[in-house]
């Protein structure tokens, strides 16, 4: 019996592979537990079509992420904060504040979990921040902290 694996199966193969297995093993375990489908022409065509659609969607997402990366590279995000008596900020500028300011100033929505700050920002000045967009794409953002 030929089956198309729809999940990785230990000691048999990876998702997307076609394997020849015994009828009982294929019917009772692989198909019964949802690890595989019978490899008919119709199933194969549907699987290949789904793979093509997924590849096209991934390519479109990569293109969008690269555009966002270029846009973030040209931006200078300005954050105004109150200063203490010694010239340092009250508290630190957080990832959440950076994500919020990006949305407020430039209408760019990024998740605060994707913002990377090397050290806590507790003083005024210029800082370089990395934002992980996904698929291995990292954008650099210029952050300017101004005291009030």
Domain positions in the chain are 2-60, 64-147
Q: How far is CA 76 from CA 40, 73, 81, in A?
A: 56, 8, 16
The class (CATH top level) of 64-147 is alpha beta
What does the radius of gyration of the chain's CA atoms come to, in whole angstroms? Answer: 25
Shared fold status for 2-60 and 64-147: no
Q: Give the number of other CB atoms < 10 A from CB of residue 25.
A: 15
CATH topology of domain 2-60: Ribosomal Protein L9; domain 1 (3.40.5)
Residue 115 exposure: Cα atoms within 13 Å on the Cβ side:
25
Give 27's pLDDT tier (boundaries 50, 70, 90).
very high
Q: Please, are residues 90 and 80 in contact by the beta-carbon 8 Å criterion?
A: no
pLDDT at 116: 93
Residue with tokens 């929505």: 109
Q: Does 87 have pLDDT greater than 80?
A: no
Which pTM was predicted?
0.69
Average pLDDT over residues 3-15: 94
Distance between CA atoms of residues 109 and 61, nearest Å: 15
Q: What is the pLDDT of residues 31-82, one digit of tens each?
A: 999 999 999 999 999 999 999 999 999 999 999 999 999 999 999 999 998 8
Percent of the chain with pLDDT over 90: 76
């Amino acid at each position: 019996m030929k089956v198309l694996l729809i999940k990785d199966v230990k000691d048999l193969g990876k998702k997307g592979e076609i394997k020849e297995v015994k009828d009982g093993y294929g019917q009772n375990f692989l198909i019964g537990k949802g690890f595989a489908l019978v490899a008919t022409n119709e199933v194969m065509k549907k699987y290949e079509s789904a793979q093509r659609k997924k590849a096209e969607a991934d390519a479109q997402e990569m293109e969008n992420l690269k555009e966002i990366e270029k846009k973030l590279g040209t931006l200078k995000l300005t954050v105004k904060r109150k200063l203490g008596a010694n010239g340092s900020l009250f508290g630190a500028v957080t990832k959440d504040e950076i994500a919020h300011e990006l949305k407020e100033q430039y209408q760019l929505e990024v998740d605060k979990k994707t913002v990377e700050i090397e050290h806590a920002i507790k003083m005024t000045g210029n800082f370089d921040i990395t934002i992980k967009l996904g698929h291995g794409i990292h954008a650099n953002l210029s952050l300017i902290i101004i005291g009030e």
